[in-house]
Structure 1
Amino acid sequence: MDGRLRAVLFMAVVVGAFVEVGAEHQRYGLLVNAFALAAVGVVGAAAVLGFGRADGPGPGSAPGSVPTPDRLVREPAPGTPVPVCRYADGPAAPQPRPPGPRPFLRERPTDLGVPRFGDGARAQGYPWLLPERTVQNGIAADEATVGAFTIRGASVIGPGHRCGHPAEPRQDSYRIGRTRDSRHAIVAVADGLSSAPWSDTGATTASSQAVTLLREQIETVGFAGLDVKELYGRIAASIAAQASGRGVATSHMATVLITAVLTEPDANGVAKVWVSWLGDSSAWTLDPQVPLWRFTSGEAKDRAAAVVSNEVAGRLPDTPHLARDHYLTLPPGAALALVTDGVGDAWADPAGNVNEYFANAWRSPVPATRFTADVGFDAPQCLDDRTAVVLWNGGRA
């Protein structure tokens, strides 16, 4: 509305108010006059101001602009620098698209807080579908404390599995445990092979049996006597029994596995760690002073190849004799991570900044909800399930 017309209308309302007060009912006293004047003035002013807002975007709005709630995610203007990883700060909603290429996919409400790298993966925004058979949950998460160790674990089904037709189950699995005296923390992370139709069952059996059998070994032969051949042989037998019970070949339950046992820290706060593995799941360590996860164990992939192969040299239950193990130490304040290749491949890629992001984000323990959202990160070509279990050494308990 034009400013002059608004001023004239407002003056007319004020004059009308005084005329109203000066009418016949004035004889009822000053109090009634005051109420009448106030009522007429407020109603008139509200009508003027409300009418002024009703037919336009308001003062200072550009012609044709659409009011946008503060919590909607706004697309950056063309040419504006944007961070590689960003978070949505509110529910996504349709909004005008600026000219030029769109640097980010639209976030959905379920994507809130999920770190996004580069352009992300298009499948990340597709609906989550359910597999045909009853399977484990699409997301699993834990947090725990065992002696001096703070633990966070999460497994999230990858976009490539949850959006297919039909959808596939989460083929990753993990378990965390401890000895009865809490002097040892035990972790197992398994990754079922995508080519195996029952690999989710194989992975679940492998991770569960690994923690149970490692606890038995520690209680019978001690930390120094851990036997990788016996461990993987017995796990292979358990998976083979599962396959036999379902009437399928053992190759249909193929999975890889990595495990770790951590002893309580010594007088200097240093913890000894035993790691065993078969396949391309991996172990990484983090020095709190160095913002980078460092690969320590697992079947390394050839990053120099034109196409990085996902073929693994060994797997359960068919080749348990190929499992390997070694000991390492974890200084106070440092962290150990066991991850499937859905996370490890992203960390190992020198072209991205995923490793650096996670080194800073997980420099110290974070809430399980934040940890799970991080594991569900969105990055180009990262479509596999992703699982991570991190143990921070807090020194002596």
Structure 2
Amino acid sequence: MTVQGRSGRRSQTARSRVSRRAAQPRPLDHYDREAHAGSRAVADGFLVRRAVMIGGSLVALLAGATAVYVRVYHQVKSDISTALYALGGTALVSVVVAVVQHRRQVLADSETQNNARVDGATQHDVRADPMPEATVQPSEVEDEPEPTSSAWTPVVLDGTTSAGRAPWHLPTGVVPNGLAADAVRLGSLDVRAVSIVGASHRCEEPAVPRQDAYALARSADGQYLVVAVADGVANSKRSDLGARVAVSAAVRLLVRHLDGGGTAGTIEPSTVFRAVAGEMLGTGRSRELDASEIASVLIVAVIPTVAAGGQYEIWTARVGDCSIWSLNGHWTQLTGSAKSGLDKNLLTAALPHDPDQAEVRMLQLTPDSVLAVMSDGVGDTLSDVQGANTYFAREWGGKVPTLPQFIHTVSYDAPGQLDDRTVVVVWPRIRSGTGQAPR
């Protein structure tokens, strides 16, 4: 109780000191001096108008009295009395004009002072804040870059599109966010992931939900990173739901296999993709949706977090047109092939219909390489857009980007590239021959 009492007295004393400091007069700053000068100008104008009214009144009274005296007592009608009447009338008119102007100026000054009083009260409320002000060194402010709106202007690749510059709209119902992103580190790997609703979907009114999805997971011992990317089939009613179920089911099944003592080399792709298809169908039935309304393509990758023998042995499998690329100076497609033909969006396989058509590959990633797992929204850009390969090699070939930088890189605008975009990029942190993590 004694400690509390002392604390209370100290707090009260401190508040009193702060109150006295807040109550002390402050020197006029730049804006106060301007306001003070304006007040003096207003006061000078007031005195001039008052002098005109008083002087005019005296002249009018004197002229009128003299004219009456001349006419009444001396019975003189001359030019002198006429001139006196004219002088008195002119003085009266001047007084009336001065009175009207004075009244108008008083009303205007009153309104200006009220506005200034409101602004001044707001400023003094801020200045009288009893919290102690933080001391900021000038160098701290000068070294900090100023935010600019142009920093988030989409990068243009080979031309702009009206949809790419259009504002984002909201879809109806409870659907995935238009943007999802992650930045993680696991073992010797740095990972960045982003999924962005495409321009053709977000600019509609109402918007179409993001139909891409991704999921990241790890084995319990941290020895493996599991990546899944799905792209809902565009003409399916709830392909967004199908994509989300596909990636979540896939990583859960693969992690269960790894945590149960399995390795990447012992994964049975048919078992995994059939189980994923089964979960998609079950979710669809629970919502009265058939298989064609939740269709999606899927790619998965199991990546060791530590290189063995100078490289990473990666297990990957896919159904559909998602792909994996590697960067060694330029980007090279490792799974699938560039689309061709009149209809580049034609699919030969998708879940939940074709779980047995999974294409399996074992890939090798050196510590000097970068790996990217992506939907066709990014893969088509790499294949079809002039300058895109160079652009992504420059952005992702050096230092690992921050998450905002990574999102900005994928937020490009390019002709014909209006689909949802999802990409998971993996950087080994230890370069071969160095034993160090320069990133």
- TM-score, normalisation: structure 2: 0.62
Give the SS at the match of 1:217: helix
Residues 193 and 423 in structure 2, CA contact (< 8 A), matched pair in contact too: yes
Q: Which amino acid aligns with 1:208?
A: S
Tell me the equivalent position of 1:132. Answer: 172
Give the superposition deviation at 1:114: 2.5
Residues 1:297 and 2:335 are matched in the alignment: yes
Residues 1:348 and 2:383 are matched in the alignment: yes
Aligned ranges 1:62-81 → 2 under 5 Å:
none
Deviations 1:206-261 (A, max 9, x none): 11111111111122322220111001000000000011001011110000001101
Give the superposition deviation at 1:322: 0.6
Number of matched pairs: 286
Tell me the equivalent position of 1:118. Answer: 158
Tell me the equivalent position of 2:418. Answer: 383
Q: For 1:382 and 1:262, how far apart are their aligned partners in 2?
A: 29
Shift in alpha-carbon separation, 1:121–1:267, aligned structure 2, 3 A: same
Partner of residue 170 from structure 1, selected from 196, 201, 210: 210
Partner of residue 368 from structure 2, selected from 333, 338, 350: 333
Tell me the equivalent position of 2:186. Answer: 146
Deviations 1:120-177 (A, max 9, x none): 1110121211112210100000010111111000011111001113310000000111
Partner of residue 254 from structure 1, selected from 295, 312, 316: 295
Give the SS at the match of 2:335: strand
Residues 185 and 261 in structure 1, CA contact (< 8 A), matched pair in contact too: yes
Tell me the equivalent position of 2:397. Answer: 363
Residues 338 and 383 in structure 2, CA contact (< 8 A), matched pair in contact too: no
Give the superposition deviation at 1:179: 0.6
Q: Which amino acid aligns with 1:294?
A: T
Q: Which amino acid aligns with 1:293?
A: W
Q: For 2:407 and 2:200, how far apart are their aligned partners in 1?
A: 18
Q: Which amino acid aligns with 2:155?
A: P
Give the SS at the match of 2:393: helix
Give the SS at the match of 1:117: coil
Shift in alpha-carbon separation, 1:302–1:138, aligned structure 2, 3 A: closer
Partner of residue 203 from structure 1, selected from 243, 262, 282: 243
Shift in alpha-carbon separation, 1:137–1:168, aligned structure 2, 3 A: same
Tell me the equivalent position of 1:48. Answer: none
The structure number with the bigger radius of gyration is 2
Tell me the equivalent position of 2:345. Answer: 310
Give the SS at the match of 2:394: helix
- Structure 1 moving runs of 4+ over 6 Å: none
Name the structure, 1 or 2, with higher relative contact order (CA <8 Å, separation 6+). Answer: 1
Partner of residue 234 from structure 1, selected from 269, 275, 281: 275
Tell me the equivalent position of 1:16. Answer: none
Q: Which amino acid aligns with 1:385?
A: D
Q: For 1:313 and 1:237, how far apart are their aligned partners in 2?
A: 20
Give the superposition deviation at 1:308: 4.4
The answer to which structure has the higher helix fraction is 2
Tell me the equivalent position of 1:374. Answer: 409
Deviations 1:317-349 (A, max 9, x none): 111111111101100121110111110001011
Residues 333 and 394 in structure 1, CA contact (< 8 A), matched pair in contact too: no
Which segments of 5 or more consecutive residues in structure 1 lack a partner in the other structure?
A: 1-38, 44-88, 92-108
Residues 187 and 306 in structure 2, CA contact (< 8 A), matched pair in contact too: no
Residues 158 and 387 in structure 2, CA contact (< 8 A), matched pair in contact too: no
Q: Which amino acid aligns with 1:336?
A: L
Tell me the equivalent position of 1:279. Answer: 320
- TM-score, normalisation: structure 1: 0.69
Q: Which amino acid aligns with 2:335?
A: S
Q: For 1:255 and 1:115, how far apart are their aligned partners in 2?
A: 29
Residues 212 and 243 in structure 2, CA contact (< 8 A), matched pair in contact too: yes
Residues 265 and 272 in structure 1, CA contact (< 8 A), matched pair in contact too: no
Q: Percent identity?
A: 34
Q: For 1:149 and 1:137, how far apart are their aligned partners in 2?
A: 27
Tell me the equivalent position of 2:99. Answer: none
Residues 171 and 200 in structure 1, CA contact (< 8 A), matched pair in contact too: yes
Residues 170 and 205 in structure 2, CA contact (< 8 A), matched pair in contact too: no
| 270-279 or 260-269, larger mean C-alpha shift | 260-269
Residues 276 and 326 in structure 1, CA contact (< 8 A), matched pair in contact too: yes
Q: For 1:217 and 1:382, how far apart are their aligned partners in 2?
A: 37
Deviations 1:43-72 (A, max 9, x none): 9xxxxxxxxxxxxxxxxxxxxxxxxxxxxx
Residues 297 and 349 in structure 2, CA contact (< 8 A), matched pair in contact too: yes
Partner of residue 222 from structure 2, selected from 157, 170, 182: 182
Give the superposition deviation at 1:381: 1.2
Give the SS at the match of 1:154: strand
Which segments of 5 or more consecutive residues in structure 2 lack a partner in the other structure?
A: 1-32, 38-146
Partner of residue 254 from structure 2, selected from 214, 217, 228: 214
Q: For 1:123 and 1:114, how far apart are their aligned partners in 2?
A: 12
Give the SS at the match of 2:181: strand
Q: For 1:277 and 1:336, how far apart are their aligned partners in 2?
A: 16
Partner of residue 245 from structure 1, selected from 280, 286, 295: 286
Residues 1:194 and 2:234 are matched in the alignment: yes
Q: Which amino acid aligns with 2:354?
A: T
Superposition CA RMSD, Å: 1.9
Tell me the equivalent position of 1:322. Answer: 357
Q: For 2:255 and 2:268, how far apart are their aligned partners in 1?
A: 12
